[in-house]
């Protein structure tokens, strides 16, 4: 039997959360010869190794070690480094996930070399072209041969953009596959004891979007809201390196030191962070994936952005987009902790089987001329 040669691309830590169930599904399906390429777009040796170990992902077959740079330079360097891999391995399919620079860079290399492109997490739209991720999403979808969507809005967006219906599949959410597989393991995490947290009387915060952390005024306004919230309950803040650097450069780090219940900690591994989210009273974030994970965990989520590319989370009520106005953040926070929040219905196909569906479709005899 001829195996389907497929390259799976990862560029940032959230990509590994999405690729992990795909690797398992491809192996179990039995029809795939898989090569995992880590572009090194975001790379921290200790954290990446922890992710590989915790999610049982084999170490990537190739690490391009591109590193950080401007969007243009990083995208170009990824393309230059990825092209020889494709030429040497000769895959029939390249699979990309999410919306980072690695997604569009490797997608472009694939299609220019005549290799079929698969995009997992396709069709998500914030309709905000100032976000680099939005440009990556739109461009990757426009050149992909198969597009796998997490929610119905993705399907609708792609059809509206002229993508043929036969290329589009609503399969569910591979991030949720990983969460459901590891939820029981995360319960064994000791992170709450390490942080001296009891029960769920605390909030979890993540903040990394350039629109929030690269602007001194915006970041200061978010701190205005956090200052009020930390008077009610502890806020645990696993801080992104970019955010930490900017707090110092904006001289806001001294202000944080004056907030006794806002606790900054280093980034956590997957299982510890899952436990920290699951046990929280609420989560404040500007992340896309966390909006989805809190939906499954049934923890109220306040999104510190003006928009979301994951509208299903707001439609079912698990997530509220509150922007960066401190008054609006505080008002939404108080509504959430006053139990003025309805428990969400789980979106269709968020059942832990998305990766299996993807593997079956890709391996289908007629899908790639197999």
CA distance 237 to 138: 31
Locus of tokens 């806020």: 235
Fold of the domain built from segment(s) 4-173+350-363? Rossmann fold (3.40.50)
The pLDDT assigned to 69 comes to 80
CA distance 150 to 168: 11
Residue 21 exposure: Cα atoms within 13 Å on the Cβ side: 24
Instruction: List the chain pLDDT tens, one digit each, 370 residues.
Output: 689 999 999 988 889 899 999 999 999 999 999 999 999 866 666 566 677 788 887 788 898 988 888 889 999 999 999 999 999 999 999 999 999 999 999 999 999 999 999 999 999 999 999 899 999 999 999 999 999 999 999 999 999 999 999 999 999 999 999 999 999 999 999 999 999 997 669 999 999 999 999 999 999 999 999 999 999 999 999 998 889 999 999 999 999 999 999 999 999 999 999 999 999 999 999 999 999 999 999 999 999 999 999 999 999 999 999 999 999 999 999 999 987 777 789 999 999 999 999 999 999 965 665 5
Domains 4-173+350-363 and 183-337 agree in fold:
yes
User: b or e along 248-272 (b: 16 or more beta carbons within 10 Å of the residue's beta carbon)?
Assistant: eebebeebbeebebbbbeebbbbbb
Looking at 3.40.640.10, 3.30.70.20, 3.40.50.2000, 3.40.140.10, the CATH number of the domain 183-337 comes to 3.40.50.2000
Q: Which of 38, 42, 208, 240 is catalytic?
A: 208
Q: Give the Å distances, CA to CA, from 90 to 35, 164, 362.
A: 11, 27, 17
Locus of tokens 């009020």: 228
Locus of tokens 């902790």: 337
The pLDDT assigned to 343 comes to 79
The pLDDT assigned to 14 comes to 84
The pLDDT assigned to 2 comes to 87
Using a 10 angstrom Cβ sphere, with 0-12 exposed, 13-18 middle and 19 or more buried, the burial of residue 115 is buried
User: b or e along 56-88 (b: 16 or more beta carbons within 10 Å of the residue's beta carbon)?
Assistant: ebeebebbbebeeeeeeebbebbbebbbebbee
The pLDDT assigned to 55 comes to 83
Q: Locate the domains of the chain by residue range.
A: 4-173+350-363, 183-337
Q: Are 292 and 98 in contact (CB under 8 A)?
A: no
**The two structure tokens encoding residue 300:** 């109220």
Catalytic status, residue 71: no
- Sorted by sequence, the CB contacts under 8 Å of residue 120 that are 6+ apart come out as 18, 22, 95, 96, 97, 98, 148, 174, 358
Residue 258 exposure: Cα atoms within 13 Å on the Cβ side: 9
């Amino acid at each position: 039997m001829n195996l389907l040669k497929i390259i799976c691309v990862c560029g940032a830590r959230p990509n590994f959360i999405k690729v992990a169930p795909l690797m398992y599904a491809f192996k179990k399906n039995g029809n795939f010869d898989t090569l995992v390429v880590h572009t090194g777009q975001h790379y921290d040796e200790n954290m990446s190794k922890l992710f590989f170990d915790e999610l049982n992902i084999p170490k990537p077959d190739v690490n391009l070690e591109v590193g950080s740079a401007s969007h243009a330079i990083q995208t170009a360097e990824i393309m230059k480094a990825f092209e020889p891999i494709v030429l040497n391995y000769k895959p029939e399919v390249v699979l990309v996930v999410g919306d980072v620079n690695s997604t569009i860079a490797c997608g472009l290399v694939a299609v220019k070399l005549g290799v079929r492109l698969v995009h997992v997490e396709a069709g998500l739209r914030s309709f905000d072209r100032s976000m680099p991720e939005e440009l990556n999403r739109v461009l990757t979808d426009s050149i992909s041969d198969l597009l796998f969507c997490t929610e119905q809005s993705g399907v609708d967006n792609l059809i509206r953009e002229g993508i043929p219906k036969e290329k589009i599949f609503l399969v569910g959410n591979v991030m949720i596959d990983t969460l459901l597989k590891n939820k029981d393991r995360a319960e064994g995490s000791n992170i709450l004891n390490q942080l001296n947290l009891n029960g769920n009387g605390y909030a979890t915060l993540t903040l990394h979007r350039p629109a929030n952390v690269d602007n001194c005024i915006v970041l200061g306004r978010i701190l205005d809201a956090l200052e009020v919230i930390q008077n009610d309950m502890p806020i645990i803040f696993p801080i992104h390196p970019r955010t930490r650097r900017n707090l110092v450069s904006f001289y806001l780090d001294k202000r944080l030191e004056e907030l006794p219940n806002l606790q900054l900690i280093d980034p956590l591994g997957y299982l510890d962070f899952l436990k920290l989210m699951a046990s929280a009273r609420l989560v404040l974030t500007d992340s896309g994936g966390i909006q989805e994970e809190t939906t499954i965990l049934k923890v109220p989520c306040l999104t510190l952005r003006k928009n979301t590319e994951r509208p299903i989370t707001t439609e079912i009520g698990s997530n509220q987009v509150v922007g960066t106005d401190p008054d609006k953040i505080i008002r939404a926070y108080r509504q959430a902790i006053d139990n003025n929040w309805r428990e969400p219905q789980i979106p269709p196909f968020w059942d832990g089987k998305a990766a299996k569906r993807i593997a079956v479709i890709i391996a289908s005899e007629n899908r790639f001329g197999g």
